[in-house]
Amino acid sequence: MTQLLFREDAYLQQVDSRVTGHTPEGGILIDQTVFYPTGGGQPGDCGWVEWAGGRLTIATAVKVEGGQVALVPSEPLALPPVGAVLAQRLDWTRRHRHMRMHTALHLLSVVIPLPVTGGQIGAERGRLDFAMPEPPADVERLNAALHALVDRDVPVWDEWITDEALLANPGLVKTMSVMPPMGQGRVRLVRIGQGEAPIDLQPCGGTHVARTGEVGRVEIIKIENKGRQNRRVSLSFSA
């Protein structure tokens, strides 16, 4: 399995790793990584890798069988050999914007306390789809509530619970269509706020900022009808 260093420190931007293999599609398998692999609505990270005698631009990272992560080069060039020491470098600007937007979408799910039917994170925009038959009457009020949560600048961190504990607390899961990954004995929760009544607490495998104030200014820019029972709420950075 590839060790997911971003789970331990989302702010880690570079690391030396070891090449453990290659995928048939030309991906690079490594023993540990700072690159987040595509999943949960969050895009895979991009950046660069270097080894003795070579350098590649990485377009994305993906999950492969056996709990491994493959780094996908942007061009079909020569790959580093198995066993090579590989220096990984993130495109930090893009990753950090994903972290900010991901946390903002968690806050949006607090401002709009309805079941989530889908979502997508981007470096400029993000969205959540809600089981919402009627559109909200006052978008300005929702934006004000979202800004207030950001401005509280409360901590964001993760914790782990057992599969059994999650099954015993189904209210922690906000998504209707996708259950958190289970089967390894534990599930990661992301907590926003402190104490026994946090602002938000839900299963999540993505990367987040350390405090809500780091999100910056975001705005609800569009609410679209996506079916009789669904509305898509889109956020954008305004600064």
Q: Does one domain contain both 33 and 103?
A: no
Q: What is the pLDDT of residue 164?
A: 86
- Min mean pLDDT across 26-35, 121-130, 208-217, 219-228 is at 219-228
- Rounded to an integer, the average pLDDT of 58-65 is 97
Residue owning tokens 């409360």: 154
Per-residue pLDDT, 176: 64
Residue 187's pLDDT is 87
Same domain, 137 and 220: yes
Average pLDDT of every residue of the chain: 93
- Domain shared by 30 and 145, yes or no: no
Last residue of a domain, one of 52, 67, 90: 90
Q: Which of 31, 55, 90 is a domain's end point?
A: 90
**Can you give the pTM of this predicted structure?**
0.93
User: Which structural domain, as residue segments, surrounds residue 213?
Assistant: 95-237
> CB neighbours of 109 closer than 8 A, spacing ≥ 6?
116, 128, 174, 200, 202
Whether residues 72 and 186 share a domain: the answer is no
Domain boundary among 90, 109, 128: 90
Quick one: 99 and 152 in the same domain? yes
184 against 73, higher pLDDT:
73
For the segment 14-32, the average pLDDT, to the nearest whole number, is 97
Please say if the pLDDT value at position 201 is more than 80: yes
The sheet with strand 125-131 has its strands ordered as 116-121, 125-131, 230-237, 218-225
Please report, as a single letter, which amino acid is at residue 37: P
What is the rounded CA–CA span in Å between residue 72 and residue 43?
13
What is the rounded average pLDDT of the residues 127-134? 93
Confidence band, pLDDT 50/70/90 cuts, at residue 185 = confident
Residues listed for the chain: 239
Same domain as 172, residue 64 = no
